[in-house]
Each structure stands twice: as C-alpha cells, then as structure tokens.
Structure 1
C-alpha cells in the first residue's frame, strides 16, 4: 500500500510517454529522488470513486502516482511546481 498517491492532471499526462522516467528530470536528481520508489497507475484502476482517500469526482485525473515515501512525494510536487504543473495529493495513508 503506498503512503501517498499524487494525481497528475490529464493535459500533462496526454503530452508525455507513460514511462515514469519520462516524468522526471534527467540525471542524478531523478536517481536521488528514488525513481524506482513510485509507479504510475491509470486513475480509473487506482480506486473507485467513493472509496477512502477520494472525494466523489476526484478521479478526473488520467494518472495517479503511487509514492511510498512522503519525502519523495514532496520532491515530486516541488519539481512540478517549478515547471508550472500541479500534482495533487489524493490520498495519504495515516499508518
């Protein structure tokens, strides 16, 4: 179970390849961020609407990123903020 899921808005997903590596900056920064510590899951397969962690209608994203580490989640959000893309936190495992 991931600690956190981040949703990537559909206009960003549709413009990129589906490999998670293509969403990260090249070089050592991506490796330090733990490029293998998260995976992309199509949002419609992640959780049905109404289950814990989602508000109704929140699955309008094309992609959900499962993130096992909160520091990695913050790093990803910071990276996308710098290029004008918002990653939304859609669930956080309290455990």
Structure 2
C-alpha cells in the first residue's frame, strides 16, 4: 500500500508529462512548457514564448502551488532575467 502511495505522490510532484500552458505574469505572454520537461526546482527546462516566437532554456528557481494553479519562477540565463509564470493546473 505504501508503495502505491509513493508512486502516486511521485507522479503528482514530478510535473506534467504533457505540454503545460501558462502566462508570463509581467508581460502577459503565453508560455508553453513542452512535453517531456521535468518541472522541478533546480532543473533546466525548455519553454516556448509565444510573444517572441522563441524557444528558451530556463532554470526553475521556485514552484508555488495555490488554489487556482501553479506559479513558477525561472531564471533565463540568456536574458539574465528572472521571470514568473502562472501555469494552468489541470
């Protein structure tokens, strides 16, 4: 029984295995985290920024879950900026 609970908990905390949509809280740009990215603090992931039409590699600095979704703070080393994404929690 404990093993089943651990497997379910790991699946929930590992982030989506599918694409994930959200918004950059500062610019309002639509952001997509592609399928296959492991969304965890300290991990590098690839995002697609619909405003610029660019794929970017960012480092996840912080993840905060709340009632209406998930807020992810990332560091974009290419621009040297921290960004915050409000992701839809399905």
Comparing both chains, which one has the higher relative contact order based on Cα–Cα distances under 8 Å and sequence gaps of 6 or more?
1
TM-score (norm 1): 0.28
| TM-score between the two structures when normalised by the length of structure 2 | 0.29
Larger radius of gyration: 2
Greater helix fraction, Structure 1 or Structure 2 = 1
